[in-house]
Chain A
Amino acid sequence: MAEISSSNVTDLESGAPVRWDNLRRGLYRFRSNTLSMVGLSALLIIVVIAIIAPFVVPFPEDAEGALHVTERLQAPSSVHPFGTDKVGRDIFSRVLMGTGLAFRVGFVIIVLATTIGVSIGGIAGYFGGWLDEILMRITDIFLTVPALVLAIAITAALGNGITNTMIGISLVWWPGFARLTRSLVLSLREEPFVEAAFGIGASNMRIIFRHILPNAVSPIIIKMTTDFGFAVLTAAALGFIGLGAQPPTPEWGAMINDGRSYFPDEWWIATFPGMAIWLMVFSWNLLGDGLRDVLDPRARR
């Protein structure tokens, strides 16, 4: 969040001193918010794990299709801290190798959904009229069906696999961003500084990118952060159903599905991937909850 705001910091034209001040105050509030600092630290650790996992895990080949049938279904031990699955793959290695995948999946979904949603919501809010009417009715159509059901249908139609999961979820995730952006643009359009820009004859592009979007960034970032965890959760759910990543991909949801029939006797197969999902989603939620306090002080008093 710091990087995005600081791009405006030296920009005198768009009210830099005020932004500087807001940023400093925001950072202070963020640092004094224990929960969000815990969330951020946990996420940083998870990122480090995702990056170094391929080099440090004991059995990197187990993240692919390796088979060690002689070592199947072993309980957690010093060799296999999280035990082994039905074909003898080391679950510790697979869970750690899955971290990077979960990050990529969440990132792609959120970036795609934000791009589509902000464009559609921004156009609808800024230009108004019949364009607004059409775009918002389309958005409404997506909002009348539970995202998960539509994502399941789209992913099933496109064919199983992690790429199609990401496409399917992004295609149902954008309406929230569109609604949010539209409401932000609608209120910003009435602000005196936007009217002033209109008055001196600034082009639409300039008004949108220089005056409206920079002021709409905070709520969008809050939503991206809180949605990230839930996007990871949704992708894992599709993996669990069997529509997402296919074995032997070390995707956490698919791993839980794999261990389901061995639960509770070989409890470790499904338990550890589930805990990994929880840890990642919890960290994102802590961070998102804290960011909400910082960037939108009215939300929490």
Chain B
Amino acid sequence: MNLRYYLMRRIFLIIPTLIGLSVLTFSIARLVPGDPVGLAAGPQATPEIRETFRRNFGLDKPLPVQYLTYMQGIFRGDFGESLYSRRDVFEDLKRFFPATFELTVMAIFIATVLGVPAGVVSAMYRNRIPDHISRVISLFFVSFPAFWLAMIFQTVLGRELGLVPIGRRFSIVEAPPNTVSGLYILDSIIARDLDSLWLSLRHIFVPALVLSFSALASITRITRASMIETLEKDFVRMERAIGIPYQLIITKYVLRNAFIATLTVISLNFGWLMAGAVLIETIFDWPGLGLYAVESSLSLDFQPIMGITIIYGVVFSTINIITDMLYGVLDPRIRYG
């Protein structure tokens, strides 16, 4: 049982989950008491217009037929078109996904940079003042309603102090960097365009910072707990006994061992932050999946919502697999089978 076999099996196992997910969202979309057609066709629509609408979108056929038609489309990269804007859902998803992905990666990066050291300090000063302070601070921040904090940060840092732009991913007047990945930071680096890089970073910083708060507490807590567990291992006592500097023991030996548990929590958080991004995007006008999901939900436009949930499903499953792969990198004893 080698790595390639393991990987193939894991990827294969995603398929039934994704099919289940599509059935679930399809059921939500079709068995609803709400009246999407009425909403899309407008209040003045005559019964004939509604009927045409229904026929155009295939809503007059039996549900299983509708489902199969939809699934056939997905395999051709056709997620249908929005009931409301008449735009192609797949094109929209392609455009909005990188924005959400970039925001989430940045937030995870900030949460790790803040959370792991806080956890390490907590473990080193276990049950003493620095430990208590870091615990209270992380609980303090995780308890804020992110959308509220986002609104205040946006106003104070953006509008009042003028330190950062108040919304969107990029300047409205200037052209974003050449699209390679759709991730503006990466694209700016590829294009060696320092101005674009600086502009993208300024736009992403505050949204990502606010988003990172919700992951801070769990990253700090797990780093602390697994650091403490590792610090009690015999090899640490031995290393101290033979006189290796404590700082070196912590950074080189203990943290590396403790990081496996932290990695699990970071990858779990990646999913939660992508969900949290929904709210942050609404505040900062961030043109990502979250804003798209909220706008579609408010207009009962379920074609995009089905596409969005399936994209989320694919991303989540992929992240889980990548996490399991990374375990092997950090701990060579782990074998896949």
Contact = CB atoms under 8 A, between A and B. Distances in A.
Contacts of B260: none
Interface string B227-254: 0100000000000000000000000000
A157 B297 CA distance: 8
Contacts of A169: none
B255 interface: no
B163 to A, nearest CB: 15
Interface in A258-299: 260, 263-264, 270-271, 274, 277-278, 281-282, 285-286, 289, 299
Contact of A241 (B155, B228, B294, B312): B294
Contacts of A201: none
Nearest to A143: B316
B228 A301 contact: yes
A155 B302 CA distance: 12
Contact of B139 (A142, A156, A282, A300): A282
Nearest to A242: B298
Contacts of B136: 35
A240 B143 contact: no
B297 to A, nearest CB: 4
Interface string A142-176: 11111111101111111100000000000000000
Given A153-B305, A256-B145, A281-B143, A289 B135 contact: yes
A145 B316 contact: yes
A282 B29 CA distance: 35
Chain A interface size, under 10 / 10 to 19 / 20 to 34 / 35 or more? 35 or more
Interface string A82-126: 000000000000000000000000000000000000000000000
Interface string B7-23: 00000000011101100
A285 B143 contact: yes
B313 interface: yes
Contacts of A281: 143-145
Nearest to B310: A145
Contacts of A153: 25, 28-29, 293, 297, 302, 305, 309
A156 B21 contact: no
Contacts of A222: none
Contacts of A24: none
Interface stretch (A55-63, A190-198, A202-210, A229-237): A229-237
Would you list the 7 A-B pairs with minimal beta carbon distance, nearest first?
A146-B275, A274-B148, A157-B32, A156-B297, A282-B143, A148-B275, A281-B143
Interface of A: 35, 137-138, 140-150, 152-159, 229, 233, 236-237, 240-243, 253, 256, 260, 263-264, 270-271, 274, 277-278, 281-282, 285-286, 289, 299-301
24 contacts: A35-B132, A137-B20, A140-B20, A141-B20, A143-B316, A146-B278, A148-B275, A152-B293, A152-B294, A153-B305, A156-B305, A157-B29, A157-B34, A159-B33, A233-B143, A237-B145, A240-B147, A240-B279, A241-B279, A256-B147, A260-B151, A264-B155, A281-B144, A300-B225
